[in-house]
């Protein structure tokens, strides 16, 4: 299943924690022209490097579908960034 929601949280020592919820589907719909250009670019790259386009797109879709449940935490000095994909 495609990811539905991305949660981004920022913890700073001097202020409150900021949490932002980003729905994936509306963002993908708004950025669909960019996604279309990326697919065309991937098709050209597959042709240049002689990679099967259908198989490459299938593997890319599998990677996107495996993203739900992924969590990324990064700390920079006293600030922490937390990203969770659901």
| Parts of the chain with a pLDDT under 50 | none
pTM for the full model? 0.74
What is residue 59's predicted lDDT score, i.e. its pLDDT? 95
Domain ranges of the chain: 5-85
Token match 């409150």: residue?
A: 16
What pLDDT shows up at residue 13? 85
Query: Cα separations (Å) of 73 from 20, 67, 68, 70?
Result: 15, 15, 15, 10
Q: Each residue of 35-48: pLDDT tens digit?
A: 999 999 999 999 99
């Amino acid at each position: 299943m495609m990811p539905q929601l991305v949660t981004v949280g920022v913890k700073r020592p001097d202020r409150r924690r900021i949490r932002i919820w980003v729905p994936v589907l509306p963002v993908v719909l708004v950025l669909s022209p960019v996604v279309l250009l990326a697919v065309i670019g991937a098709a050209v790259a597959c042709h240049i490097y002689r990679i099967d386009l259908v198989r490459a797109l299938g593997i890319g879709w599998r990677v996107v579908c495996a993203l739900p449940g992924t969590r990324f935490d990064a700390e920079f000095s006293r600030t922490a960034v937390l990203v969770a994909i659901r």
